[in-house]
Amino acid sequence: MHDFSGKIALITGAGKKNGIGFGIAQRLAADGAHVVISDVCRDIGVKDYAKIGCWEDLEALAKEINGSAVRLDVTDTASIEKAASLIREKFSHLDFLVNNAGAGPSPNLLQYMDLEMWKKTMDINLNGTLLVTRAMLPLMTRPGAAIVNTASRAGKRPRAFGGAYCVAKAAVIMLTKVFAIEAGMNGIRVNAICPGQIDTDLERWSFDLQARAFQKTIEEVVEEEKQTIPLKRLGLPEDVADIVAFLLSDDARYITGQAVNVDGGQLLEI
C-alpha cells in the first residue's frame, strides 16, 4: 500500500465497474487519494461493450470509493476544459492523471476499414490522451505529480483486424516518452502501462468476435488464449491497478518515460 493521503487523482474511462479504469480508481482510493472518475456517459456508437452508462451510474461508482465524478469526453476539447475547470475550482490542483479512456471500434483489415472508424479510434486513444494531458498539466503544480497512460500490448505487437488500435496505442507509447521529456522539466513523471489480456467487458467482447469468426465458444477462445500466457491466466483489473499505483507513488520517483508490460509474460520483452 502507498500513502496517497491528500492526493487528487483523475482517471478517464473509469465508468465500467469491472473495467481497468475503475479498478485503478478503487486501488488509489484505498491508498488514500481522492479520486475523480470520469467517462463519456453515453454510447460512443459501437457495440454494447462500449456503452458506458448514464451520469447517475458514474456518480454511484464515485460514491463507492468516496470520490467524485465528472463527465468527460476525451474527444471534445470543450468537455475536457470544463472538467479541468471543475477540478481547479473544487481542488485547486491535480496530483495524478491516469489517461485510461480507450476503445477499438469496428475492427477490420486496414485495407477495408471505414476511415471514419479509423479517425474515431485515433481520436479516442491517441488524441484523447494528448488533449486531456494538455488540459491537466497546468493543474499539476505540486511535487510528486505523475501521469500514467494506458497503452496496450497491441502497441508493441501488431495483429490483424486490430490495426487501427495497434497504431493508436503504439503512438500513445511514443507520446508518453515525449511528454516524459517535456513534463520532466517541471518534475512531472510520465509513464505508460501495456496491459495484455485483462478480463473485462472489452476483452470479453473481443473474445466473442473471435468465437463467432472461428465458430467456437467463448470458453474455447478464452482457454486457447490462456495457453499463450506463461502464467496461464487472464489478468485482472487489480493486476493493472497495482502497477499504476506503484508508478504514481514515490517508490517510482526515478522512473519516467517507460511503457511497462502487464501481460502475464506474453510479450517477454521490455
Q: Which of the four pLDDT bands, split at 50, 70 and 90, describes residue 46?
A: very low
Average pLDDT over residues 100-105: 90
> For the ranges 38-42, 94-98, 228-232, 260-264, which has the lowest average pLDDT?
38-42
More confident residue, 50 or 169: 169
Average pLDDT over residues 124-135: 98
Pick the CATH number of 8-198+237-262 from 1.10.10.350, 3.30.56.10, 3.40.50.720, 3.40.190.10: 3.40.50.720
The average confidence (pLDDT) of the chain is 93
Summarised one tens digit per residue, pLDDT across range 194-206 is 999 999 887 887 7
Give Cα separations from 242 to 12, 27, 159, 228, 254 (angstroms).
Answer: 17, 7, 27, 23, 18
Buried b (16+ CB within 10 A) or exposed e, 87-104: beeeeeebbbbbbbbbbb
Active site residues: 165
- What percent of the chain is predicted at pLDDT more than 90? 81
* Structural contact between residues 239 and 263, judged by C-beta atoms closer than 8 angstroms: no
Quick one: how far is CA 145 from the chain centroid?
A: 18
Whole-angstrom distance, CA of residue 161 vs CA of residue 109: 5
More confident residue, 69 or 51: 69
Summarised one tens digit per residue, pLDDT across range 151-181 is 999 999 998 889 999 999 999 999 999 999 9
Which triple of cell numbers denotes residue 93?
490542483
